[in-house]
Structure 1
């Protein structure tokens, strides 16, 4: 091989060595970068789990602390209820029990009456103080309790004395409860919870993580913190994502981002199960990543050594191997730290209220927290070794096996299973299981179980209610449909199908006006648009095409159906067939019109005949009067002319009555209403009939009201009606008898006129028929009666005025006629024209 060739081979080898060195260096750098990224994610994930676990532990501690204070209040309430009186001397021993002094989280407990006076207290010197509770916030109802907002101070003395000096950052959480003593007095029990005790526990919980733990109200007001922060207790935490974005949609969660402290934080929060409190745990991302930075620096050194090894040869390679060994030892130490933290977490898990467990690869339980006691009433050791599939109900065992499948491609597995509790009832649990990997295979499973029995029961009740509503819709005889805001059908019932003649399968999803005429579609679209714009309910009547081709009169009722966000989701429409009612109305209207035409024609005929009869009657009466004058010397001839004259007068009276009837029925407009005193009309009628009274020797006992009896009426027509009634009484009264006439005002805003006589009376079966035209009482059909039109005319006049007339028999003989007229207000000219 020539030198040139060797140099070329050497150059190529050197070039290849350079290329390989560069590729190997890039590979090392890329591997180290990926490893650093992976380690960072693992570190942050571990910090999130740690923060979430601490938040769950602190929330449980806060809840149990408040519940312990609540138990003390209930115990004090039971003791007070057994006291015969609420004297302070009898209440004070209840608050001096050792139980109160042994609870460090309680500053004091007291009994306060409804005036705000402290009756008894666990702190000497507080009884007798007056507390202004107006600023405490809304107090609970009797028999209930409430946790009030944080108040500054240490005791009731601080709360009662507004100007007393207080230490900065010192406050109490009042827990109050109304109870009633045996004598019926109501008092308020107050327990002042020390937020500092909660902060001390928070300090212990986060002492190894260098973070901060906060306790706040649901509204974001700081209650306590494990170390000083920028806010004082009671101040509002502004701009925190937990209160701005997370609550109240989610009651617990964990995220990395903005918190109360400066810089990015690992934040975990959890709301109390029973109280309006929220626990926040914040771990500084920079502090969390500090171990990772150390490992990254270490990996950087390892990478540098690796590059030096590549460039330096075998010696450097050996040194790089030593460095890797050193890195391996450091990694093992880190794993030991992780194992230590896991043991600490297992201790914390025992206080979590959810059921948390761990199994081996076959599904046998190897660990379970203390929540197991609440489910089985047995210790956690009893569950060790049992398989979860043996504890669930028989139908759920196959799905339980699916949770523990060894397919490592499936991550989180969830199933809803039924477990039988210690009381024998089946409880529903939402079980989540995550496989645990080790040495490249699944070595076990970790899981949690949440009791969702109440939610399952609510879902079942909801489904039954929906099924019942659907059944009611199908059974409804009214056609019902629903369509969305775009005008597409989404629901119809069986009655709608039967009416329209279209199956719902061909209707759902189509436009509302698809099978309507353009005019009908425009009418419905206008109503729907107005309803969607203004809400409420729309009701209108139109004609709808029936499946048999006829158009039916229908009343449509539409209401807006609200959606999830409060916006309209559609319109619900019901149809009611009123065709038969409208046909009946049309038939009634046509019959009434025909009757009115016949009545007008009859009235016109009677008026024409009456006018035609009056002409010859005037001639007969004139010649009969002339015959009477000229036949005075011939008694027989004079008697004949007198008979002719009297018969003509009776005939003329009959014709005049017929004319009055026809005028009343056909010319209501001739009634002219004016304000009149009814007493004057009655007196005028009596003066007019005075000759008739004198002729029969009758006396009139007149009773009139002292005050004017003012009413709006037609004086001529009312005068005619009253004269007819009084004239009838005179006609049928015995010779030298008496009439009783009374005109008074009643309490029902009406005027009443009564005319009583001692005549033959009226048979009971004819008390109503005598007011019909041409009908007379059977007791007066002896020739002394008239035409039978007088009382009929009276009733028509009274009816047109809105009044009434009726007759009754008097005790001892005779009849009494009663006329009632309404007292119309000024300006009321409405007549009853139903004739």
Structure 2
């Protein structure tokens, strides 16, 4: 009988492993949930702290702005008060006390009092009448600020000026204090006074208390030196304490003006701290939020998270949905926070615009136009005080001609919104002050109950408009008085304006010309020429001049130079073309006569040069014979001293005559043509040194001491070397000739500029009379001081100047201060390839 099949039983080890695996998976899932919840808790904690830090920064910025504006308001009060005091004849108390009535600080809780002190500390006037006459210890204020300047002092104990009478601060019994703001000025009689405004730190602390809503939050106002000024919590250090160990003062300031961190602060325990230094004052605002209080709501949510964790083990999907909803809620919270930041930024911008507009005249009236409020700007505008203006109609304050227009701004039957009018007010100095007044009606229950308005000073614009109109009238007058015909036409070629000279030239009145085409009355050839020039000017811009002939009203054709420029338009393009005509018919006639005269002069100069050259050649032939026979006679008559002396005189006279003829030939060659110069590029230093070597025997004969200065770098120029050496030789030989024996001879060859060579030769001779400094360069002229019978034709310097001028240079003579003459020879250092010579006629 077959065995029955057995039912398979679960393997215990497999079941154990599956159970273990299930337990492990369950444990891993539980661990994952716990880790996830822990991460959520840490995320919420970090978000809470970051949100708190953002809020602390926002509060610090808001409170710092309030403190700065408060101190600036006190400074503005002192400035306005100072302007009133400066106008007083003297600083007598009976003159100053009315300016410091109790109304000055009645609505300003941040001010304890405002007072005026003399240089000895006596209270001349005060907003608190009981303080008048007190003598304060001004040494406690330290050095006074400069006139017209202000200075904010550190916190001082006390409630008023009466607590500052002692030379030293009394032992602090309470936490009541004040922050003095000083401003120094001089009255009209030169007396120096000190304005003191006592700022109430308690008012600043009260504002901070109202701005802080979180329990355990603290706002601290301190000076940059760490002295505590005000705090909104009694548990913090008392005002006047030093916060030097606070991390903000020990680590952050002054490297950073604002910032935030989490750590220690003025309170015990971890804090979220934000600080911000004032933009204009030596103050810093600190905001501290207790981290334990901030995380209290987070701790409360931990219990809920623990319960949620238990539920999440059973309903993972539900827990995930809760998490997603929580993240969405936080994103919405972040969006709301960003919106709040944008709202705060918008309010700050509005406040900045409002502060900028304070310089305008701001006022408010009732329905009848009677002023009920006017800002402090009126003190700089009107001759009456603000108290005298309030209660009067604005129309009564303007000049008589503008009162009807001003009264129309306050019409109750006018349903318009903003209303504007330009009016004038008489300034304190008697001149008119122009304002653009704008008012807006104020409605209540459907009816107008008053008006709010402002006035902008437009005096400069009115003056500029008047000056512009005078300038336009003056320009029009100049245009009519101009002797040159002037016209303007638009880009389409139609006349826009013409002047009287143009009418006289053409013979047509402007009424018949304005609006007509430019070429309507011209011949086709002339019209085409002008149209082409106008098209070129419109395409390229700039200025255009050309010469042509224009028909005069008498029918003759006149030579004209026409100049045209573009007139810029308002849209960036040209508005038209301005055209001037200059009659140059007489100049053209004179020019032709000048050319004919020049041609005749050139012809005469050429004839003179040819005559000199021919006669010089004719003289050389007999001179050569005379010199030859004189040498022969001297050789044969050596044994007869008398005969030898006669032939020697004949030979020397012939040599001088030959030198004169050679100089005449040089002059003729130079004047005849430029072609006698052969240019090549060479170093001018070498030419100077070659001439010095050639003249060295002459210098040695007179034992002259040569002082030579030559440039280190090459002085390259394209010249005729022989001619330039001839010019240099003549100048140096002339200096050697008239130098005393043993005297120095200074020669300098340098580059005066990168484009010019300079050679100077200075001797210690008799010099040259000032009236002869130019005439010595003329042919056959010698200086009266150097006519010593030593010979000379008087052509050397004339030849040198002609050679130098042909090369484009110059040569001049001058006297040295301590005796002697100085010759300066200048030549251009031309670029390679420049071979142009200056022809001399």
TM-score (norm 1): 0.50
